[in-house]
Amino acid sequence: MVGASDDEHGLRERVRSDARRARAAATELGPATRDAKDALLHALAEALPRRCDEILAANAADVESARAAGAEASMVDRLTLSEGRVAGMAEGLRALAELPDPVGEVVRGSVLGNGLRLQQVRVPLGVVGMVYEGRPNVTVDAAGLALKAGNAVLLRGSASTERSNSALVTVLTDVLREQGFPEDAVRLLPCHDRESVRHLVTARGLVDVVIPRGGAGLISAVVEQATVPAIETGVGNCHVYVDAAADHDTALRILLNSKTRRTSVCNAAETLLVHRDLADSFVPEAVAELRTAGVTVHADERVSRLVGDTEGVVPASEEDWDTEYLSSDMAVAVVDSLGEAIEHISAHGSGHTEAIVTENLSAAQRFTARVDAAAVMVNASTAFTDGGEFGMGAEIGISTQKLHARGPMALPELTTTKWLVYGEGQVRPAN
């Protein structure tokens, strides 16, 4: 009989063995030329639609299980693949092939006084671990980005997408082999046991970085357990602050786009702060527009007083200011000053994206200087924090931490650097 601890030991060994195989693959992949990597991406883009039937069959089984388990419609929608969605993945891979190869870029270079020639060059990270939930397209997006940057990737998706992910990784590994790349460059880890995440994020020495992508719970669990360096992504308790000197129409447009363009994404706004000088006129109109768009307003006392007993307006509790709703809900408060807005954001924000609407230069300067976040918007929607919108051509996540990368991450963020020093026998003097 196999006891729980044997299973546990087996799972750990399985994850570490996958990591070792990925590591060996990374060594082969690192020196690959851009031409070879782009040919691989194009071959993948060709294979996915060609093998659409087997991908959709596997996906249908995942969808059926999710429905049988009573999953919400929105979750089923995120999970469901179609010919169009598979074609979209292929399109993403072709776009990736068009992007410059970050590997080999000389970041800095100089000749020292003693004649040593110094170069800091971009090199692949090595083995990248991805822990993610939901959409199966992340499997292909993340693998494509990792491979283009010369990395092997360990994928740990959710149990609900297991069959879809497995079908996609089969296509990926088949094409890797056909193109003369090591198939271990992409490995799908067991996804039914939470412990596989722990084994992945503690495989120090085997895995170079872990990127969690998903809800706050997933991200916290990874960061708390990890001994491998991890990059926090994506929790966005974003604010729109409407300053005393805001243009009324601009403020409404930015507010509605920030809140309602897509409510389920991390760059959606969750709290509106309005300067008191503007509150009498702005708050009732903003709340009316939010209500028209189907948004439930969680109002502080001053907002409640201004809008009275309106349907869909509920009193805000202390928790509301810290909540990333990811839904048609918005907390709304009146503040006495720009300084109070900055303090509120400092106390409750998650360091993702913060926006100010103002025509006043010194207010804009103070907000951008004092607000501590990955992205600070002046008179623009929070929805713009996105690798594609920023012109990066792709995105593997949005970092909300300060080390390594902050904000949208794409190809250069999946590399590290190496110092190359060329001499002719130089030695260092005793002091």
Site for its own copies in 262-291 (CB under 8 A): none
Instruction: Candidates 345, 373, 410, 411: give the one binding its own copies (CB under 8 A).
Output: 373
Q: Give the torsion sign (CA, 405, 408, 414, 419).
A: negative
d(Cα 31, Cα 104) in Å, to the nearest integer?
9
Query: Which CB atom, from 70 or from 391, has the smaller least distance to its own copies?
Result: 391
Q: Which of residues 192-211 bind its own copies (CB under 8 A)?
A: 204, 208-209
Question: Binding string, 314-353, against its own copies, x = CB under 8 A?
Answer: --------------------------------x-------
Asked if 275 and 242 touch (Cβ cutoff 8 Å), the reply is yes
Query: Which CB atom, from 138 or from 254, has the smaller least distance to its own copies?
Result: 254
Instruction: Candidates 224, 309, 311, 319: give the one binding its own copies (CB under 8 A).
Output: 224
State the minimum distance, in angstroms, from the CB of residue 119 to its own copies.
9
**DSSP states along 167-216:** HHHHHHHHHHHHTTS-GGGEEEPP-S-THHHHHHHT-BTTBSEEEEES-H
The site for its own copies, by CB under 8 A, has a size of 71
Asked if 124 and 30 touch (Cβ cutoff 8 Å), the reply is yes
Instruction: Candidates 36, 57, 106, 403: give the one binding its own copies (CB under 8 A).
Output: 403
Query: Which CB atom, from 138 or from 373, has the smaller least distance to its own copies?
Result: 373
State the minimum distance, in angstroms, from the CB of residue 112 to its own copies.
6
Query: Which CB atom, from 246 or from 306, has the smaller least distance to its own copies?
Result: 246
Instruction: Candidates 32, 381, 409, 410: give the one binding its own copies (CB under 8 A).
Output: 381
| Helices 162-178, 52-68: crossing angle, 10 deg rounding | 160
Rule CB under 8 A: say whether 36 interacts with its own copies: no
Question: Binding string, 97-136, against its own copies, x = CB under 8 A?
Answer: -------------x-x---x-x-x--x-xx----------
State the minimum distance, in angstroms, from the CB of residue 389 to its own copies.
7
Q: Select from 38-46, 176-184, 246-254, 296-304 the region that touches its own copies (CB under 8 A).
A: 246-254
| 70 CB-contact burial (10 Å; exposed 0-12 / middle 13-18 / buried 19+) | exposed
Supply φ then ψ for residue 336, to 5 degrees.
-80, -20
Query: Which CB atom, from 66 or from 142, has the smaller least distance to its own copies?
Result: 142
- Residues in contact with 397: Cβ distance below 8 Å, sequence separation at least 6, in sequence order: 211, 213, 231, 233, 234, 408, 409
Query: Which CB atom, from 310 or from 401, has the smaller least distance to its own copies?
Result: 401
Asked if 256 and 288 touch (Cβ cutoff 8 Å), the reply is no
Task: Tell me the HSE value of 215 on the side-chain side, using a 13 A CA sphere.
Answer: 9
- Residues in contact with 154: Cβ distance below 8 Å, sequence separation at least 6, in sequence order: 18, 19, 22, 127, 128, 129, 130, 187, 189, 200, 207
Q: Select from 66-74, 166-174, 219-227, 285-293 the region that touches its own copies (CB under 8 A).
A: 219-227
| Helices 248-260, 276-292: crossing angle, 10 deg rounding | 50
Residue type for position 184:
D
Q: Select from 89-97, 135-143, 325-333, 375-383 the region that touches its own copies (CB under 8 A).
A: 375-383
Instruction: Candidates 261, 276, 291, 348: give the one binding its own copies (CB under 8 A).
Output: 261
Asked if 228 and 202 touch (Cβ cutoff 8 Å), the reply is yes
β-pairing, 397-399 vs 407-409, is antiparallel
Question: Binding string, 81-100, against its own copies, x = CB under 8 A?
Answer: --------------------
Rule CB under 8 A: say whether 389 interacts with its own copies: yes
- Residues in contact with 421: Cβ distance below 8 Å, sequence separation at least 6, in sequence order: 116, 117, 118, 119
Rule CB under 8 A: say whether 292 interacts with its own copies: no
Rule CB under 8 A: say whether 407 interacts with its own copies: yes
Instruction: Candidates 278, 374, 410, 411: give the one binding its own copies (CB under 8 A).
Output: 374
Query: Which CB atom, from 241 or from 304, has the smaller least distance to its own copies?
Result: 241
